[in-house]
């Protein structure tokens, strides 16, 4: 790495912070970071919709179990014959 004499300044380049970014500008997300953020958002929405669907279908399933049990035990429309 070439050294510059003391007091010399590179006029063409913006001043850098200790993190290597231009002073006064926050770091911009990279392509990988954007893809990760998008994947996390899509996955979170999928988990939310899955939970909503489970809570909406559970009562329907329990009602169906109840009616099936009534048919089996009370001699409802379901006919079981012995072979």
10-residue averages of pLDDT along the chain (83 residues)? 57 61 65 88 95 92 85 63 60
Q: What is the pLDDT of residue 32?
A: 84
Q: What is the pLDDT of residue 11?
A: 63
Q: What is the pLDDT of residue 73?
A: 76
Q: How far apart are CA 64 and CA 68, in angstroms?
A: 6
Find where tokens 């399933």 sit.
61
* Structure-token pair, residue 15: 């001043």
* Domain residue ranges of the chain, discontinuous segments joined by +: 29-83
Q: What is the pLDDT of residue 42?
A: 96
């Amino acid at each position: 790495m070439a050294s510059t004499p003391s007091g010399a300044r590179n006029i063409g380049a913006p001043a850098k912070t200790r993190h290597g970014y231009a002073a006064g500008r926050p770091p911009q997300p990279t392509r990988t970071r954007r893809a990760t953020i998008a994947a996390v958002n899509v996955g979170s929405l999928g988990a939310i919709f899955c939970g909503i669907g489970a809570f909406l279908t559970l009562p329907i399933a329990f009602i169906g179990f109840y009616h099936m049990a009534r048919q089996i035990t009370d001699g409802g429309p379901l006919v079981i014959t012995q072979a």
